[in-house]
Each structure stands twice: as structure tokens, then as C-alpha cells.
Amino acid sequence: MKKMLWGFRLDHWLVAIFMATMVIIAFLNVLSRYIFHFSLAATEEITINLFVWVTTIGIGIAFERSGHLGMVTFFNKFPRSLQKASVIIYSLLAVGLFLILDWYMIQAIYDEITLFQARSASLNIPVWIYYTGLPIFSVFIFRGIYLDALAKLTDKEKEEEK
């Protein structure tokens, strides 16, 4: 996997920024509780939603690094052609899963904008804004699935050439 210009990876930077924001918010909430005996309710709302966004981006990073659980011992027993087929099948299944998830989330966003118009409890922000993170950050998931499949398939081709 080649690094981008100056090592800049948008997914890594977003995770770092979101995590730093979560840490700062949690720290400020702890300080406000112990110093002023006042809890900032909005901090929980922001932290939970940033956590969901970080998790979504992290799924893509994990796919890219082949960091998901797998049955490697079982997979390695397959002949090369079956290994290639299984990589393609599980990649297509993973893409299908996240396409379905995105489809339902886009429907939920549409419903929130047009029908329900719900607002968050603490900050009074439209709920659909929090929902948009999943379909937007799914781009990193699809990228990770593609890079993982590409790496595994090219590794199998290199093994066959030997």
C-alpha cells in the first residue's frame, strides 16, 4: 500500500481529529463535574456520535489492513483457485452488507428530514446530521474492502508465478 503525498491519509486524520475531540470533550466534562459540580449534557451526545463515526472509518482501515477475523487456517487449506474465489465472494458479500446498511441509513435520513424532523435532546441539532456520517464514511469501508481484496488477489497471483 503506497502512502499518499506527505503521508496524508484522510481516514487516519479524521480518526485522529475525532478521537482528540472526544478526549477533550470528555476531559472538559470531568473537570466541569468536579470543579463546578455541573455536567455538560451535550458532551455525551457529541461523543457518542463521534464514536460511531470513528468506528465506521475504523472498519475501513481494518479491512485495508486485513485486520478482521477470518478462518485463515481453513482458508489456507483451499487450493489457490478456491482461495481467489473465496476472496471475491467475501468481498462482494461485505460490499453488499454495507450497501444495504447505507440504503437503510439513507432512508432513515430521508425520513428524518421529511417526516419526523426529530432534533437531538441536548444540542437541538437535527438528528439526520448525525446519521449522515455512516453513508459518507462508508466510502472508507468500500475502499478498504477493495484494497484488501486487491492485495490478497495479487498475493495469490505472485504465489502462482513462483
Tens of pLDDT along 24-79? 999 999 999 999 888 888 889 999 999 999 999 999 999 999 998 888 888 889 99
pLDDT at residue 4 in the model? 57
Give the model's pLDDT for residue 5.
59
H or E stretch including 102? helix 80-111
Residue with cell 485486520: 67
User: Higher model confidence: residue 18 or residue 38?
Assistant: 18
Q: Report d(CA 76, CA 154) in Å as an integer.
A: 16
Amino acid 11 reads D
Instruction: Name the least confident of 59-63, 77-81, 96-100, 134-138.
Output: 77-81
Residue 1 pLDDT level (bands cut at 50, 70, 90): very low
Q: At residue 57, what is the residue type?
A: I
Return the domain boundaries, the chain. 5-161
pLDDT for position 7: 78
First to last CA, the chain: 22
Numbers of helices and strands, H then E, in the chain:
6, 0
Q: Do 68 and 62 meet the contact criterion of CB atoms below 8 Å apart?
A: yes
